[in-house]
Structure 1
Amino acid sequence: MSKAQKIYNFMGPRKAMAAFSIILLLISIGSLAINGLKFGLDFTGGSLVEIGYEQPVDLGGVREALEGAGYPDVTVQTFGAATDVLIRLGETHDPQLGDNILALLQAEEEQTLTLRRNEFVGSQVGEELREQGGLGMLLALGMIMLYLAFRFQIKFSVGAVMALVHDVLIVLGVFSLLQLEFDLTVLAAILAVIGYSLNDTIVVYDRIRENFRVMRTAGPVEVMNGSLSQTLSRTLMTSFTTILVLVALAVFGGSTIFGFAVALLAGVLIGTYSSIYVAANLLLMLKVDREDLIPPPKEESEVDEMP
């Protein structure tokens, strides 16, 4: 380790940070149990109608016209271009729904409107997507655990997976508390959060493993502090540049990718925190030591006596 390297005492407040993480987890789990998630059309089922305009239109006016015509709980957003309007409604199976909405909106506009899509997603399909999404997430965590156990050691594997579960539960808690719509794009963002957080954790764990072999007189806490200090600038710069992009997506990307951007933003923030204070802290709780990473020396084979 370079003499100029400044060592921060990250593990000093580890008990306070552990208590903070437990509080966040309890809030998230409590909100998920009480409020649940506000599933979008992809999971609950419903109708989707896409209308093409010649000129950009006021989405608020479109929403008011639909609600006034007796379509409650309608979601109106642009889809790609500003002239493409996507309308989501509750579970109403009506083959003529697209034509009825087109006629309703055409009466409000002087420009020519075009019906581009009229689809219905049944609740059974939505339930299958929900189950497959959950199974996919569990499968990803299981494969990650096997990979880390092979690359590092079983304690590192358990610590990394527990840190990932911590991150995912808190992101889900944010969506439950704020009652933001949870759809397939948000599920994709959570899987991306798993990858992002795992990458950060592997970088930290790799340095911890290396320092356990280099800093032979240091204890586990000193090794953790040294490793986190060495990777701090990389962790912060990666997170900062990623957050800048996600803030721009959330503000200027429109409602189509708003949930995706919010999920990634929350995931990057909590993933950065967990890479520093959760992943390494879990290793200390699991009592990782140098002996876990350095194989014991092989015993010398006995030399056969000469006859």
Structure 2
Amino acid sequence: MELSGIGVWSQQLRYGDAAEAAESAAELEELGYSALWIPDVGGPLFDAVGRLLAATRRTVVATGILNLWMHAPEDAAASHASLTAEHGDRFLMGIGVSHAPLVDRAEAGRYQKPLAAMRTFLDGLDQADTPVPSESRVLAALGPKMLELAGKRARGVHPYLVTPEHTRTAREALGAGPLVLPEQTVILCADRDEARAIGTDWLKNYLSLPNYANNLLRLGFSPEDVESVSDRLFDALIAWGDEEAVRRRVDEHRAAGADHVCVQVLTEDQGAFPREQWRRLAAALL
């Protein structure tokens, strides 16, 4: 499974119109994107993975991330085995512990000991009738303990909502072998006002989740930066401007040790497939 170059992270490919998702996936492959990443906030995840695999021939399809509280490991392993048998070794299982406010919304008090929960889930994948090989899975690791676990029991890490400095931290923690595959949010726009209009509220929703907020504090941002979504924090997390601005940020991740960067495009209509922007970025990045 080749994991290099540039990928696309997209909630539209998961939750948008299925026919357009398939059409978009085929085009993204032709444009040269090496992986398609989709989230998991409920619904039939493996059906979505299967549709994207069926729409492509070479591109890796990755979960960014499979929410381990929503799946039994033996079922996840069986789905991975079935999809791999049908489509080849192109399904990368990104696994994460999600966030207490989201998990506890469905069942109060369920989110406990996330590191232990990850170990248990990985044990289940290893003990399944057809195990998910460690080289076919990555972890959504932000903090040092989850990074350490990823280095031992997965092919690498898929950090979401991070800066190039976090990419450097992950690479230093993991060493030269494991993969570092960060997500980078981007907005193609004319100026800061337009970027802020599109991205501020979107970012606030994520910063209300403790795992992301705490990771940014570890990186040296202040509580005031997080609370106010300061320009400094906004600029560090979202690459905005023209294609050259996005290319510079991707290059910063690569210089910090990233093997692959997946870009998530935000637009004013966040439910629409940003196909024009994907094409523009392909011309600049690929």
What's the TM-score, normalizing by structure 1? Answer: 0.22
Higher relative contact order (CA 8 A, sep 6+): 1
What's the TM-score, normalizing by structure 2? Answer: 0.24
Q: Based on CA coordinates, which of the two structures has the bigger radius of gyration?
A: 1
Bigger fraction of residues in helix: 1
